[in-house]
Chains A and B, each alone.
Chain A
Amino acid sequence: MFDTLSGKLSGVFDRLRSRGALNEADIADALREVRLALLEADVALPVVRDFINTVRERSLGAEVLESVSPGQLVIKIVNDVLIEALGGAGAVPLNLNVAAPVPILMVGLQGSGKTTTSGKIALRLFKRDRKRVLLASLDTQRPAAQLQLQQLAQQAGVASLPIIAGQTPVEIARRAMDTGRREVFDVVILDTAGRLSIDQALMDEVRAIREATSPAETLLVVDAMTGQDAVNTARAFNEAVGVTGIVMTRMDGDARGGAALSMRQITGAPIKLTGSGEKLDALEEFHPERVAGRILGMGDIVGLVERASETVDQDEAEKLARKMARGTFDLDDYAKQLKQITKMGSLSGILGMLPGIGKMKAQIEDANLDQGILKRQAAIISSMTMKERRTPDVIKASRKKRIAAGSGTSVQEVNRLLKQFDDMSTMMKRMTKLGQKGLMRQGMGALMPKQQQNRRPY
């Protein structure tokens, strides 16, 4: 796959020895790489053009200091411009500042995740903000869509508008608002059918719904995997209904998410929330700096730590940390750690979240360092006796043969595991102070070939 932008840029600037201010010729190659990286990340072409112009203006005449390379300087400028373009620092909350019941209108293409997101927002407003929420499905197009929202409402513990067959979406919207007023709800979430931005009849319908309900928020729900069409969708929905906020869904996938930038630039509306899973609590505030790193392929270290904390059993991790501090970390503990790493997903996916891993990733794939190694190592450990796991020093030739046979591996592989565990124990003694997060990172570092461990991104 693609190398990271930082890797490419360092290549461009290796040829460049000049110091002082950057000039047009210096940055031309660099900007070509930036453009390519943005296009590969699915940022829409017109948005890329504007973006490159801004970066060019800002780079020209920028002073290259002694301490940074020209490449690092351009990367910093790109990153800064990107974060600004994505909305700058700080999350923008939902606007609920109108008289109750506050209508929130959900719009978007088919399959972008409107209904699931409606359920997630309902749960969030109910649990976190203690609001009385009414969910209403205006989707009379897709089979069982109304039933889907009703079931999500039950899961979230909020009310849903009773389904009356044969009503038009506008009628349902009016009924939802009436019910909202009569039964004193704080918020009414109106989930509409997915529609194509070029479907005039359905776009007119959503406009009518908007006029009938005057929503405080009109949220455009967009799949993070969306390609160049993001521009058309954003423009059409914005012109028809006036988008006030964007929700990016499927941020838990591995798409680079360039659509976020396109959407933000075209509509001018802030990205308010992101969806990152199928469970109802998988809704988060939008962090421009993280998404910027992701679009540029520079890794998402915060995301990695979050993923780790989501999947790693907290008690287990603390127990392991204590054991390490005491220097009693044994093979049993290592097996547990392997299991936790496996739970976090595919190894290359995890590695992809680390900055500057681009070049290494190819080498790792060449070395066949896949999930299989973790599994085999777990098998080797489970073929050991309790005594062997606690004091690996007792494992000599005949025990190794037995373990290899028991786990369906070879003596070499057993040796490799023991050697690795030995290295790891040494390392852990050194880094006890770093605590759990350090453990996670070093645990993975220990799986990589030695000479690559201390490589820096640039």
Chain B
Amino acid sequence: MALGFFSRLKEGLTRSTQKLTTGITTVFTRRKLDDAALEELEELLIAADLGPAAASHIIEEFRRSKFGKDVTDEEVKQSLAEEIAAILAPVAQPLVIDRALRPHVVLVVGVNGTGKTTTIGKLALQYQQQGLRPILVAGDTFRAAAVEQLQVWGSRTGAVVVSGPPNADAAGLAYDALTRARNEGADVLLIDTAGRLHNKAALMEELAKIIRVLQKQDPTAPHSVLLVLDATTGQNAIEQVRVFSDLVAVTGLVVTKLDGSARGGIVVALAQAFGLPVHAVGVGEQAGDLRPFEAMDFARGLVGAS
């Protein structure tokens, strides 16, 4: 199974870098690193969603150390990967569950359709396999069949799912679930929430309410607030992280859909702007498709270094 994990991750990341790799190869097989070449390299980073600012920052570093030198394709990839990995290394931190908390409360937030529910399902499986007892809370009481979706994940992973009637108050549900988790001595309480756009003040206020209500029972809750980001998202991800962090104190990110053609370069820009930990990456729809975020692997994958 471990082998399957690894090859799938590699496969997913390879796919996501194919395009960029081809681009770099054609630019750099036999060229001096001059202004034109650097500009093309910058554009390739932009095409990977790093954003104009982060891309130009990296290229400036590059200019300082490599300008005018004759470089091979492999050298360019290697040093570009190192440059990016240096930015990402500080944020590559797994989510550590504190077993003493019973339960460690994890609130999962994000805009619509990023993969919150799927991520919770995957986390639940991981915790079960580590011998922890997770309880899942179907806090998306708004979207049609969101509760049922989480219940399917519950039965796949054997985790208990706490749910309420449609359009029930998510904060009340979370409160009850926390009571139950404390009574039953569960290790992790994973709270799903309805997707919400960060610019909708009323919906963001709802999230703040969930936190307030949880804190009535446990002033330290939630112990983790995970923002789930879709790798296909462009520069708006920066605004998403900013607003969610302001209002609900996000403690870490999960980046999903990295098995697609999107390269998730926005993660680099986010690391520079916020320095929030990236706990995991999603590379598929199956329960096992959640991986730790490895800075060097991600960076090498991003630029296609071997």
Contact = CB atoms under 8 A, between A and B. Distances in A.
A180 B200 CA distance: 39
Given A40-B51, A109-B232, A278 B145 contact: no
Interface stretch (B27-35, B106-114, B125-133, B289-297): B106-114
Interface string A190-212: 00000011100000000000000
B101 interface: no
Contact of A253 (B197, B202, B261): B197
Contacts of A147: 144-145, 148
A232 B266 CA distance: 17
Contact of B234 (A36, A141, A149, A258): A258
A190 to B, nearest CB: 18
B160 interface: no
Interface in A110-155: 110-113, 119, 141-145, 147-152, 155
* Interface size range on B against A: 35 or more
Interface residues of A, number: 53
B48 A228 contact: yes
B183 to A, nearest CB: 28
Contacts of B231: 229
A250 interface: yes
A198 B263 CA distance: 13
B234 to A, nearest CB: 3
B67 interface: no
A69 B259 CA distance: 48
Interface in B217-247: 230-237, 239
B153 interface: yes
A256 interface: yes
A69 B213 CA distance: 56
A364 interface: no
A250 B111 contact: yes
A253 B46 contact: no
Contact of B148 (A143, A155, A250, A345): A143
B68 to A, nearest CB: 24
Contacts of A253: 111, 197-199, 236
A180 B259 CA distance: 36
Contacts of A226: 232-234
Contacts of A346: 199, 201
Contact of A254 (B112, B113, B199, B263): B199
B234 A42 contact: yes
Interface in B112-159: 112-115, 118, 121, 142-146, 148-149, 151-153
B90 interface: no
A381 to B, nearest CB: 20
A338 interface: no
Nearest to B149: A144
A339 to B, nearest CB: 12
Summarize A's interface: helix, strand, loop or mixed: loop
A111 B115 contact: yes
A371 interface: yes
A278 B195 CA distance: 10
Given A147-B145, A197-B261, A232-B19, A371 B46 contact: no
A144 B113 CA distance: 14
A345 to B, nearest CB: 5
A223 interface: yes
Given A40-B51, A250-B111, A151 B145 contact: yes
Contact of B262 (A142, A155, A229, A343): A229
A45 B263 CA distance: 14
A131 B125 CA distance: 45
A263 B2 CA distance: 39
Nearest to B50: A228
A99 to B, nearest CB: 31
B49 A228 contact: yes
A149 B145 CA distance: 8
A405 B239 CA distance: 37
Contacts of B249: none
B235 A40 contact: yes
Given A44-B47, A227-B234, A253-B197, A198 B260 contact: yes
Nearest to A35: B52
Nearest to B48: A228
B145 A227 contact: no
A48 B33 CA distance: 24
A225 interface: yes
A255 interface: yes
B257 A198 contact: no
B70 interface: no
Nearest to B239: A254
B15 interface: yes
A36 B46 CA distance: 11
Given A109-B260, A111-B257, A278-B112, A148 B144 contact: yes
A397 interface: no
A349 interface: yes
Contact of A1 (B153, B239, B266): B239
A204 B43 CA distance: 32
Given A143-B152, A147-B145, A228 B197 contact: no
B98 interface: no
A258 B47 CA distance: 13
Contacts of B118: 142
B144 to A, nearest CB: 4
25 contacts: A111-B113, A141-B285, A143-B121, A144-B152, A148-B148, A150-B145, A196-B259, A196-B261, A198-B261, A225-B111, A225-B233, A225-B236, A227-B49, A227-B237, A227-B266, A229-B231, A232-B19, A232-B262, A253-B199, A254-B197, A254-B199, A258-B234, A343-B202, A349-B201, A371-B201
Given A148-B149, A254-B239, A255-B234, 8 more contacts: A110-B257, A142-B149, A144-B151, A148-B144, A196-B257, A227-B234, A229-B260, A253-B111
Interface of B: 15, 19, 43, 46-49, 51-52, 111-115, 118, 121, 142-146, 148-149, 151-153, 197-202, 230-237, 239, 257, 259-263, 265-266, 285
Closest 4 pairs between A and B when the two form their complex, measured CB to CB: A227-B234, A111-B113, A143-B152, A42-B234
